[in-house]
Amino acid sequence: MCSKMLLAVAIVVISIAVWLWMKSSTSKPPPKLDQNEWWGPNELKAKQDTSIRPFKVKFSEEMIKNLRFRLKNHRTIPPPLEGAGFRYGFNSEQLATWTSYWADEYNFSEREAFFNQFPQFQTNIQGLDIHFIRVKPEVPAGVTVIPLLLMHGWPGSVREFYETIPLLTKQRPGYDFAFEVIVPSLPGYGFSDAAVRPGCGPAQTGVIFHNLMNRLGFKKYYIQGGDWGSVVASMMVVMYPEAILGHHSNFMVAQNGPAFLRMFIGAYFPSLIVEPHLASRLYPLSNLFCYIMEEFGYFHLQATKPDSVGTALSDSPVGLLAYILEKFSTWTVLDNRNLPDGGLSTHFTKDQLIDNLMMYWATNSITTSMRMYAEAMSSNQRKIGFDKMTSTVPAWALQAKYELFYQPANVLKTKYPHLLGTTVLDDGGHFLAFEKPREMADDVFKAVNEFRKYHATNGRTEL
């Protein structure tokens, strides 16, 4: 017992020393990225069209015919292991249900109209045609309209926000504001052009989106992001603290030395780091390490050789379906991997999930979307050191029960010292706006209300 106590004391002393040392290395100044870096073909530089052009989703008959043929004429897929569920990936016994629905029951013309229910546009930013949804609220006099940039991730798309947008663009009781939402497709995703040369990672995407907001006339605005959108958001608040009035995320993570150290201390003294009823979301750390080893093979593959796997997925809609829907299964609730059907129908409809697949198939963008991983993990991106930079922007974290990672507020504050609050849900997974639009919209309203109070207290001009 005594030796264990001495070991614990030694760990604490060493940890505090390391913490102080690491804390001193986390105050790097904001990076100065090229705000006009050109990502499109060089021959278009002299004739860039910076107008904002109306856009509509269009599923051509030729594409639909080809897709149906591929869905109905794929090779026989080997059967799954008995009782394997989704633990080895998408259960091939479930494929027929999905492929037959996509080919024969998914109503392409109706879904096309569904996609086009919101005003959409394209505009050329730094050589890339960027696609975005823009919805303005209709509100009575005296109600403030607030610009909100919503950012998706992989393997999601702007489709994730379709159920949330109407909830955000309508005034609700208790609030004197509503949102004008701008929802862009990430570069290389959906109907946004992909960069033609290496280097366009999350930070560069943040530059593109800031330039987009400025082009739309917004010098100050709020942001919300999940998955890659949350990473882009975490970099934007460092680069543009004067422009961004508030930062809401459903996937907020701190990856700096002090954060890791606090998590490590909590492994021995969890009550110092996390509330008792939430400790199981973080500890024991061995569960986290096992989870990463078991479920993050895709990450390494896409961060190193995205074009190889992209070739297969671009050629086979069946492969694309299996690859992406497996993520919607396990990232919504990890235990779904034990179910024969992956639990997909519990949280989403077939039309919802196939809508999202269409954002990749119709645009042939799966390869270019996965390059985001390679760019984010590149040495050039990592040496910028965003993880060591703190944000002065007020922040708010929405934390779903089954999100991929959980960090308590005192860990998040090592990166976001102005974290005004967290909302901890007893349900929900990684694709939160898609799965629980009401909860997402409620929390965005609550967070922005707190951001506005914060600015009023601190004497900052808001918009």
Q: Are the beta carbons of 305 and 311 closer than 8 angstroms? A: no
| Catalytically annotated residue among 162, 222, 227, 323 | 227
| Catalytically annotated residue among 355, 418, 430, 443 | 430
* Alpha carbon distance 27, 101 (integer Å): 53
* Alpha carbon distance 323, 112 (integer Å): 23
Q: Is the dihedral of CA 79, 83, 87, 91 positive or negative?
A: positive
Q: Nearest 5 degrees, angle CA 283-CA 15-CA 19?
A: 105
| Catalytically annotated residue among 106, 162, 323, 373 | 373
Amino acid at 80: P
Active-site residue, 430 included = yes
Q: Find all residues with CB under 8 Å of 400, minimum gap 6, and list them.
A: 250, 425, 427, 428, 429, 430, 432, 436
Q: Are the beta carbons of 50 and 124 closer than 8 angstroms? A: yes
Q: Are the beta carbons of 225 and 233 closer than 8 angstroms? A: yes
Q: Are the beta carbons of 195 and 201 closer than 8 angstroms? A: no
Active-site residue, 291 included = no
Cis? peptide before 284, omega within 30° of 0? yes
Q: Find all residues with CB under 8 Å of 250, minimum gap 6, and list them.
A: 224, 225, 226, 230, 397, 398, 399, 400, 403, 432, 433, 440
Active-site residue, 355 included = no
What residues act catalytically? Answer: 227, 373, 430
